[in-house]
Amino acid sequence: MRANQTIAVRCFLTSLIGLLGLGWFGAGASRAADEKPPVAVQFSLDRPIDASAAPFVLAGAKGLFGSEGLSVNTNIASGSADGIARVAAGTSDFALVDINELIRFRDKPGAPPIKAVFVLFNKAPYAIIARKSRGIHALSDVEGKTLGVAQGDLSIRLWPALARQNGIKVAGVKQHKISAAVREPMLSAGQVDAITGFSYLSAVNLRDRGVPAEDLAVLRFADYGCEAYGFALIVNPAFAASKPEAVKGFLRAAIAGTHLAIKEPGHAVDEVVSRMDGGSHDLELERLRTVIRDNILTGEVKRNGIGSIDPARFDRSVGQIAEDFKFQKRPSVSDIFDDSFLPPIGGRLIN
């Protein structure tokens, strides 16, 4: 009898363990079913990685994209026009491009309705970089001088508006067309008096070439009345329509990456330089600090949060673009920018 009871107990325990095992297996299977695979994202930078891309480098390195359910692959476009073309074709889902190039692109007949969804550079980095030893200390000093302008340079497109606004005769400044590869070397060698370009690129590169900082005049367009915004994230319209939560997640990760770059610039540059071919930590740290100070963390961003656009300022910037570009239809901010994917302002405040 006792033997039969023992056998019965063993059978009961075996059945119970089996049931518990099935329960755990079922729970695990349920959790596995609930875990969605990450959304694959193709992201284009408009130029090779440098410190200005730190927010996105950190978003990848620190798992910020992953925590939003995104698997992001970064590719390099050959300029903003190419970045826009990739998003238009759907070969990239996002791209970081000059928003002023997007404004001109959208004016083309039949252009796809690509919009920016996040502005990283609250102020465009356009600048004239000059040698003080050549007699240039302020913008008015460029009259009668030779300005080196690289092929495809975006800043020169806003020069007519800037010149008029500051009482400078455009015809009084000689433009010398040059290759982008020789822009800084020609200024360094004194073959031109000044060059146009991005302040965080040309000015920092020139100091690295041995031009003394005290001999450089960095004349930022924004300091002389240019209203233009700078680099912005654009998104493929079909991707945005089908995966709105992925777009929102990408922006949250980019904002978090920007926070980290501002908080720990030295560590951010370590991550950037590790992905560059022969990058210099000191050079890229100077570049990142320049970008944060002049382009990202502006007074407007401190007040209103990062990523958005002020409609009145946007309209003024379009007016400045129009001095060198004939619009078929002058755009409104809603034609170019969609703020519906941005977090509330509490999630965009940055200091």
pLDDT digits (tens, 9 = 90+) for 116-165: 999 999 999 999 999 999 999 999 999 999 999 998 888 999 999 999 99
Among 143, 134, 176, which Cα is nearest to 162's? 143
Q: Can you give the pLDDT at residue 23?
A: 37
Distance CA 243, CA 33 (A): 20
Every domain of the chain and the residues it spans: 39-123+228-347, 126-224
Per-residue pLDDT of 289-311, as tens digits, reads 999 999 999 999 999 999 999 99
Per-residue pLDDT of 19-34, as tens digits, reads 334 333 333 333 344 5
Span 213-236, average pLDDT: 97
Per-residue pLDDT of 67-106, as tens digits, reads 999 999 999 999 999 999 999 999 999 999 999 999 999 9
Query: For the CA atoms of the chain, what is the radius of gyration?
Result: 26
Q: CB atoms < 10 A from the CB of 322, how many?
A: 13
- Say yes or no to pLDDT of 224 above 60: yes
**DSSP E strands, 94-204:** 94-98, 115-119, 126-131, 146-150, 174-178, 194-198
Among 57, 121, 94, which Cα is nearest to 250's? 94
Answer whether 39-123+228-347 and 126-224 agree in fold.
yes
Q: Can you give the pLDDT at residue 187?
A: 95
CATH of 126-224, picked from 3.20.20.70, 3.40.50.920, 3.40.190.10, 3.30.450.40, is 3.40.190.10
Q: Which CATH class is domain 39-123+228-347?
A: alpha beta
Whether pTM > 0.85 for this model: the answer is: yes
Q: Can you give the pLDDT at residue 34?
A: 55
